[in-house]
Amino acid sequence: MGVQLPLLAPKGERSLEYRLLKENEVEKEIEISVPRAELERLINEEAQRVQKELSIDGYRKGRVPQTLIKSRYADNLKAQGVDALVKQAYLKVLSENNWRPAGQAELRDLQEGEAIKFRLFVEVIPEFNVDNYLDIEIFREPALPDDYLLKQGMNSLREQYAVVQDAERPAVVDDLVTIDLQISAEGRSDQQNNQTVRIGDRSLPDELNRALVGMKKAEKKEVTVENRSYKIHLKDIKEKVLPLIDDEFALGLKFSGLEDLKQKLLENMKRQEEKRIEDELKESISEVLIQRTKFRIPNILINREYEKILKDYNLPDSDSNKERFWNVAEKRMRFNLILDRIAEKEKLMVSEDETMDLINKLGMRLTEHNRSDVMNYLGSILTREKTLNYLYEHAKISEKRRIVTPKEVANDSHPVRH
């Protein structure tokens, strides 16, 4: 909104009066009254600003009479004056109450008379304390065995270079099928067309996966899962053909041979495994802090994160997706606000140079219009990342022993210590 000058008033007269119609931890509804003279003053200021830039037939730039400007552009001037009036009053109320808005305020009513009266609804960041966030005790899982990691890497490599082709047969597990899906529950229906899913995907209900096995192209089927009905129309079936990984395959990827490929692949998989373990430890920190720190979250923030999730996964807004992702969005926003509060307490900040480095890596282009928003958004992401790393560095990490398999026991030649 930008910085606005405070509202002015004649000596001894209050320029702004307001009262709270609704107030809780995050929701505020305010009724505001401002003397009409204040609106007239703002309209005059806007007319003066326009006068400096305006030139019309018969008048040079800056010489158009204000009476003519007010007559010809009355509606626009009034709209600009009301907008400035509302913004200034809003900022004054925020400042007096030390509220931090979670989003744009909503103008719910505006009445004109001797005074300009209007209502604003705004959600604010709640006040809450975060304590005992240093020395959080978490447990580190041991890294997975090298042979398992190599097998995972080889399987991923096969998947990466797999060829997808049409399958002229009934569908089987791991096939990619295109379906139209209608989900009905409690009198409501959600239609999802041209959805490509992998049979066996754990994100699908088991009953739906089982129903898809054996279906043919153009076949229709209905299955019920608890109180939900799934109507399936199978439109296409594709199968993946995995390549054989041998010396010839390795040479094609510029390795000296299969053993060289395996060595480089294992090194990469071990780096990924360490990153996975670190991410799990940071997730443990987030779970601890989320459980410890209870406060209400503005609905506008949860909805913003929910919409981001839908965009990231290219999903529509639907009852089923809201049921699936709303709580995820709520947890993310709760942790983000916790990180923001810890960053304030510990004075963890990100420099403009650090933010610009990220912008350059992302290949983003800043303009006069988006610079402030982009810098603030990416700066908040980097600050939260720095704060989480700070918590990770100060956590108490204990090793958790992995359960040894019977095969590993049989191959273990080390003596047992008592």
Alpha-carbon span 366 to 373, nearest angstrom: 10
User: For residue range 335-386, what is the model confidence (pLDDT) as tens digits?
Assistant: 999 999 999 999 999 999 999 999 999 999 999 899 999 999 999 999 999 9
User: For residue range 261-313, what is the model confidence (pLDDT) as tens digits?
Assistant: 999 999 999 999 999 999 999 999 999 999 999 999 999 999 999 999 999 99
In the predicted model, is pLDDT for residue 418 greater than 70?
no
The DSSP string of 190-222 is EEEEEEEEETT-TTS-HHHHHHHTT--TT-EEE
Average pLDDT, the chain: 90
Alpha-carbon span 216 to 237, nearest angstrom: 8
Tokens (6 digits) for 363: 């290949």
pTM here?
0.72
Alpha-carbon span 376 to 157, nearest angstrom: 39
Residue 186 has a pLDDT of 84
Least confident range of 65-74, 208-217, 260-269: 65-74
- C-alpha radius of gyration, the chain, whole number: 31
Structural domains in the chain plus CATH codes: 17-123 (3.30.70.1050), 126-161+256-418 (1.10.3120), 163-241 (3.10.50.30)
Identify the DSSP state of 160.
H
User: For residue range 156-196, what is the model confidence (pLDDT) as tens digits?
Assistant: 999 999 999 999 999 999 999 999 999 998 888 899 999 99
